[in-house]
Amino acid sequence: MVNVPNSLLKKLEAAALSRRPRRKSKRKQKRAAQPRPALVLSAPQNAHAAALQRPFVAALPPPCIYSGEDGTINRFHLDATITTLGASAFIFHPNTGYGSTLNASNSATIITPTLASSVALTPGYNTLSSVASKVRAISSAIRFTIPSLSLTNVVGEFSCGVISADTVGTITTMDQLFTLGQGRSNVTRDLHEVRWYPNAYDARYSAFVNTGIASTGSDLTDTNCVFVVVRGIPPTTVVNFQVVNNVEWTAKANTGLMVSGSASVGTDHQHTVSILHKHTPGWFHTAKATGERLLEDTVGRVGKFAEKSAPKLVERGLEGLAAMMGL
């Protein structure tokens, strides 16, 4: 046993008592990442979002998407064909049902887009011109394909997207329209689709079949058009367009149809569109560049290979482990 002098013990005790407490570290603790708040849509907004994403097949929402008089909602379809001279386009303004087709031997040729309503340009023209007083679009889209191209003669490129209606009047060549597309790709034999989404004033009704788009109830600066333009394809190539327009309309007088007599507060349709843009950028078109298609194909093939091969590799590994253990 070791004897420690009392004087030394007292010194050690005094030193322990006088010792300053350790300073706390100034390093800030990292805060846990806060979960991103969920962006919740109401039931009518969810129905509208579904109709915007799948306008050809989605269930039609009730007439409460926009504010004002409740109308009747129907889906109208149009098939259009252009025998191209080398560059062609289809532009559609769903709020009014006005459309325009363009055709030129060269995409740099001077053109004058004119939006108009007719059997060849407007889905449901015969029905709506007979019974509709005013219209507005819930959702709309253009599908197109070039079925005549052989597998060894696939040339050209296309552009598609959504632009404001007032921009259409400033276009003088199809090259200018081409640059406005949010989606671009090389021409293939695949069926492509570009979907319209509403702008601020697309919630307003427009008189159906008027003398011109400028004289309707729409403010062109805040209503949208959807378009497809194709260039660099052989002359006489047939381009098929399918246009769908899901329309809310109210009845004319002397048709025997009653108006609804009700009105809705409406939803914030721009909020619905904003969420679609934020959560799925590029949701409104199926155009993909060649590199993107190759990457997706490669990833898909690797995934399928792994899905098929993984169970066999695990089984072989377990068999080898059992052999090493003498089991």
Measured distance CA(215)–CA(195) in Å, rounded: 25
Q: Could you state, in order of their start, the residue ranges of all structural domains in the chain? A: 43-294
pLDDT of residue 27: 60
pLDDT of residue 155: 86
pLDDT of residue 5: 65
- Is the Cα torsion angle 309, 313, 315, 316 positive or negative in sign? positive
pLDDT of residue 26: 58
208-230, pLDDT tens digit by residue?
Answer: 876 666 544 555 778 999 999 99
Distances (CA, A) of 242 to 50, 75, 174, 191: 19, 13, 20, 10
Alpha-carbon dihedral angle through residues 119, 124, 125, 130, given to the nearest 10 degrees: 140
- Buried (b) or exposed (e) across 39-69, using 16+ Cβ within 10 A? eebeebbebbbbbbbebeebebbebbbbebb
Measured distance CA(176)–CA(170) in Å, rounded: 9
Structure tokens at 32: 């846990």
Domain 43-294's class?
Answer: mainly beta
| Beta-strand relationship, 132-145 and 183-186 | unpaired
pLDDT of residue 212: 61
pLDDT of residue 11: 65
DSSP 8-state symbol, 197: -
pLDDT of residue 209: 79
| DSSP per-residue codes, 242-287 | EEEEEEEEEEPTTSSPPP---EE----HHHHHHHHHHHSTTTTB--
pLDDT of residue 174: 96
Angle at 172 between CA 170 and CA 174, to 5 degrees: 115
Measured distance CA(45)–CA(269) in Å, rounded: 7
In the chain (327 residues long), the average pLDDT of successive 10-residue segments reads 63 63 59 57 94 96 93 97 95 95 95 92 95 95 86 83 93 96 92 96 88 57 93 92 97 88 90 95 85 43 52 54 53
